Amino acid sequence: MCGIVGYCGPQSAVTPLIQALRRLEYRGYDSAGIALGVRGKLFVEKRAGKLANLENALDIELPVVHSGIGHTRWATHGGPTDRNAHPHVDNDGKLAVIHNGIIENYSQLRLTMQERGHTFSSDTDTESVAYLLSDLRKEHNGDLVVAMREAVKILRGSFTLVAIHADNPDVIVGVRRNSPLVVGLGEGENFLASDVAAFINHTKRAIELGQDEVVMITPTTVEITDLDGAVIAPREYEISWDASAAQKGGFAHFMLKEIFEQPKAVADTLIGRLSDNKQIVLDELSMSVQEIRALKKITVIACGTAYHAGMIAKYAIEKWSKIPVDVEIASEFRYRDPIITPETLVIAISQSGETMDTLMAVRHAKAAGARVLTICNTHSSTIPRESDAVLYTHAGPEIAVASTKALLTQMIAVYLIALHLAQVNGALTDEQIEGLYIELLALPGKIEMILETVEPLRALTRSFADKNTVLFLGRNIGYPVALEGALKLKELAYIHAEGFAGGELKHGPIALIEEGTPVIAILPVADEHALDQKMLSNIQEVKARGACVIVIAQDGVHVEGAQHIIRIPVVSALLQPVLATVPLQVFAYEMALARGNDVDQPRNLAKSVTVE
């Protein structure tokens, strides 16, 4: 989950490295460091804490060099201290390495390196890699590329490694295994990074790297080889967004900007999905009519916020297409021997496409013979590359750690899949599908309406800043919305928050209610099951026990028993989560602000979870 960057080119390396680290700080902000390629001996500086601490330490006269590597850390092995910060350097002070991921056999490797006389100064699993690379380089006549290939054959785990040596500082070498690394192709300069955001203000040309591929960059060349040394042809692609998309654009925080970008993100994900003859166009599925009709089951795998999108997928797919759906937490999926057959479609949901738990679940599903469709926001990332098909959302870069627009576009993606499956199965008529699609097209405008009237909600939220518990209630498709509201509040406000199915309230959770406890209830759309009336009964139950009740309800719906009502536009029941989620995002954002927390970089969290 760390941020990695390497630079070779005509610029003084400090500037592009610090710029890149600033763009990557969302990936980890426990510490940061750089190593500059000074010929003969490296210049290394690293500091615990936010990137600003490193920048302050670099406010000195620095050597003018044109290559270097940089790192922002999310701590795994060893606490967030100066000595555990990356880069890690060999005992000669000439080789520096930065690392994302986990080296699983580091304990044995550390013992081996100590037996060879290497002296350790950190608690990390990475330092042993610096010594291993140093030894291997000496064994192979100073060839850092060969040393990297041989090191990867020894190492176990999921990792990205990038290294530089003072004897040849214009060469930077990297490798990836189950962890992201991309190449940026500039004019007379080249980059390595864990995310294209690192170099988007320099170039929009990038090269994707495959599993166990070793890359060497200089200012003018890029060479990719496999672990046997065979040269691999570059797979170049164009980045579809520009540098301004990764900037705040006048908003106080990335999260607030991304909340307000949701109408466009939803519209971009929907555009062009209905043909003139009322057919849902979803060519990305790459499945024939016969294959879809042969499906016996769909299993959705995801983590965190994406898991809530998966829960919504279950309601929509089962209701519209009549195919049974299981929703699994990806980190638990492969450890319980799930029943997977060739008639199973596995839908993996990951914003980054690098979520390690989801990636390993995908591999398990494919090994069992399932077809895998991924919903992802990041082109050329690992999970889409290893899937049979991918449906890209069009949220654009999401920098804030707490996911907002990625979630709403994931919801749109699962609705489109559900409609496509229903169309093929004949479970819905063409007229019904067209009607639902038209209603989907109206969602961006309705999100805009919510955002235009959000100021009273922000003011209301500040009145709850001293509360240490907030409970969320939902029924049916409102239940995953309640779970998402609670997750956002935990992530940002650092308070106890839980989401419950309304019918479960009397089975235990109501014991948590005491005088003044805020309870946010998502009122369902009225249906044949009278779920709205059942939720109104839940509201009366918690109010009678002293709760302060906030209800999210559609315009025009009469609500009794609530102290506060947040209105959202009218929409069909299955589509309500797209609108009901937005006020909960604003609530969490404003609560974090009121409590003085870092909105974009909440403590202990990183954007992309690339370790198990």
At 246-270, the pLDDT tens digits run 677 788 999 999 999 999 999 999 9
Q: Using CA of residue 431, residue 437, residue 440, residue 444, what is the dihedral sign? A: negative
Say which residue, 610 or 62, is predicted with more confidence: 62
pLDDT at site 612: 64
- What does 93-120 look like in DSSP terms, one character per residue? S-EEEEEEEEETTHHHHHHHHHHTTPPP
* Residues in the chain, overall count: 612
Average pLDDT, the chain: 92
Listed in order, the ranges of the chain carrying CATH 3.40.50.10490 are 248-441, 453-601
| pLDDT above 90: residue 70 | yes
Confidence (pLDDT) at 26: 77
3-state secondary structure at position 391:
strand
Distance, CA of 215 to CA of 192 (rounded, Å) = 9
Report domain 3-243's class.
alpha beta
SS3 214: strand
The pLDDT of residue 244 is above 70 = no
Q: Is 607 a catalytic residue?
A: yes
Q: What is the dihedral of CA 411, 412, 413, 417, to 10 degrees?
A: 100
- Alpha-carbon torsion angle 161, 162, 168, 171, nearest 10: 120
Task: Report pLDDT for 608.
Answer: 67
- pLDDT of 391 > 70? The answer is yes
Minimal CA–CA distance to 501: which of 535, 546, 467, 526? Answer: 535
Q: Helices (H), strands (E): how many in the chain?
A: 19, 24
Q: Give the pLDDT band (50/70/90) at residue 610.
A: low
Question: Which residue among the candidates 94, 488, 490, 607 is catalytic per the annotation?
Answer: 607
Task: State both tokens at 366.
Answer: 């494919």
What pLDDT, on a 0 to 100 scale, did the predictor assign at position 460? 93
| Rounded distance between C-alpha atoms, residue 245 and residue 248, angstroms | 8
Residue 227 clears pLDDT 90, i.e. is over it = yes
Reported as a single tens digit per residue, the pLDDT across 114-142 is 999 999 999 999 999 999 999 999 999 99
Fold of the CATH domain 453-601: Rossmann fold (3.40.50)
C-beta separation of 8 from 48 below 8 A: no
CATH number of 248-441: 3.40.50.10490
Q: Which residues contact 161 (CB under 8 A, 6 or more apart)?
A: 97, 98, 99, 129, 148, 151, 152, 174, 175
Is pLDDT above 80 for 241?
no
User: Which residues of the chain does CATH 3.60.20.10 include?
Assistant: 3-243
Section 479-491 average pLDDT:
97
Of the candidates 2, 8, 376, 548, the residue annotated as catalytic is 2
